[in-house]
Chain A
Amino acid sequence: MNESRQFTPELLEEVNRIVSLFPEGKQKSALIRVLHLAQAHFGHLDTEAMDYVARLLHLNPIEVYEVATFYSMYDTKPVGKVKLEVCRTGPCMIEGAEKLVSYIEQKLGIKDGETTADGLFTLKSVECLGACGYAPMLQAGESFHEHLTEEKVDALIEEYRANPVANYMGLK
């Protein structure tokens, strides 16, 4: 058994808290949130991370793989420290999501879906994020950045270059 993946005591306490939100024996309900924690802590959900979560919640590993590959927010392959997820659906397309993606592609020298060589940024077009009235927009970690312009994107990228860690999803 590979023990290379391990949560901190604080995270384990958080896992216990999440599990306690559900009735006895229904700890599988904690899986989706615990996977968010694991992704934030380990960077992405590799097999070891998923097996670790399976052990924590007493699940068969395949149950974790099935879930981790179903939901679009989980990364089973390595990604940059900061994921820039640009909404491309409907109202965001009208307001220039495609131009925004091209601008970021050019600025970071990567294509949609790729990660910068320094491992800092991943650019990804995603489907509707529920910010249609504030388009165009992107999500980075837990933050929504709305009404974007090229200037705002420049500032944002500088900000994340300086402090990429603040950007993880799932950790408090």
Chain B
Amino acid sequence: MSENSEKFTVTIDGKTIQVDRGTTILNAARQIGGEVVPPAMCYYSSLKGSGGKCRTCLVEVSKGSEKDPRPMPKLVASCSTTVMDGMEVKNKTSERVVDARGGVVEFLLLNHPLDCPVCDQAGECKLQDLAFEHGHSKTRYEFQRREFDKIDIGPYIQLHMTRCIMCYRCVHTANQLTDKREHGVLHRGDAAEIGTFIEKSLENDFIGNVIDVCPVGALTDKTFRFRSRVWYTKPMDASCECSKCSGKAVLWMIGNDIARVTGRKDENGEVTDFICNECRFDKKELSQWKVEGPRKIERSSVISAGHYEQEAPAHTPLLNKA
């Protein structure tokens, strides 16, 4: 491939693809899809400045580029390293990566409570998925785990720092979606925490999105907390007329009740349209929504255990027109 061409060729775990210049290794892997995609706990495509922190997406660059084929000495964060033409990357095929990733998962779980059965995020927790794939069944950490009290940051959002893995996504969300960020990262090292410093309720119209971007159960929707395990709900794509956001959401139904409203996520688990608080927390009547149909959920997900034989609640008037 010539140096001036628009596209770069990159090979990840033996699969080759052409991508635009400036594409990160992670996004190139996502374009290939499947097994070659490294996990990402902090990176979020739509959040500027995110990524690089969790180190789960570390990969081995076994060939730097066609021009300079030397391998990179250290593993690199695939979310923040851009591809070079002719680059060869090893993800799952690298023993170093598998070893380092196992280490990262252990570090992330070190201070994370292992009480998934009673966690509200169970079933849709990225850390749970990650630990299932890369973790060990036994912890080597025999010291006290850090614990925090649960706090309410506003009437609808609960923060449980004990579960936080410091991905910073919620901070980037507030930076980007709101005009005045009111929560952030306090203290440092393993004492660092997400917080408002003073007891404060986060009121911004779009602040509810921090729940959707949170990879673990640190930020949860109080209107939904423990109403149901997520796999007993049925997710339905729905939309509404909204002056603040696109109104494109997912309704998580229990029978004919809306248990929860979230944004729609793509195949990488990232929200495609950020929704406003009103849609998320206040529109809990079916009449307020136009239901489009069942949400497509990955078959491997526990959520797909919910059945779809009844396409949508029968009394939804708009559905019959479709």
Tell me whether A47 is interfacial, beta carbon within 8 Å: yes
A7 adjacent to chain B (CB < 8 Å): no
Nearest Cβ distance between residue A110 and chain B, in whole angstroms? 23
Q: Which residues of B contact A65 (CB under 8 A)?
A: 184, 186, 197-198
B321, CB-defined interface residue at 8 Å: no
Q: Which residues on the B side are within 8 Å of A63 (C-beta)?
A: 181, 184
The B contact surface, by secondary structure, is loop
Indicate if the CB atoms of A62 and B197 lie closer than 8 Å.
Answer: yes
In the assembled complex, how far is the CB of residue B248 from the closest CB belonging to chain A, in whole angstroms?
Answer: 30
Is A29 interfacial (CB-CB < 8 Å)?
no
Q: Is A69 an interface residue (CB 8 A)?
A: yes
**In contact, B188 and A69 (Cβ under 8 angstroms):** yes
Report A-chain residues with C-beta under 8 Å of the C-beta of B197. 47, 61-62, 65, 69
Give the residues from 36 to 63 in chain A that come closer than 8 angstroms, CB to CB, to chain B.
47, 60-63
Contact check, B196 vs A62: say whether CB atoms are below 8 A apart. yes
For B124, list chain A residues within 8 Å (CB). Answer: none
Q: Is B152 an interface residue (CB 8 A)?
A: no
* Further pairs besides A47-B198, A62-B183, A66-B185: 17, Cβ < 8 Å: A60-B180, A60-B181, A62-B181, A62-B182, A62-B184, A62-B196, A63-B181, A63-B184, A65-B186, A65-B197, A65-B198, A66-B184, A69-B187, A69-B188, A69-B197, A70-B187, A70-B188
B residues lining the A interface (CB < 8 Å): 180-188, 196-198
A-B contact pairs, 20 of them (CB 8 A): A47-B198, A60-B180, A60-B182, A61-B182, A61-B197, A62-B182, A62-B183, A62-B184, A62-B196, A62-B197, A63-B184, A65-B184, A65-B186, A65-B197, A66-B184, A66-B185, A69-B186, A69-B188, A70-B186, A70-B188
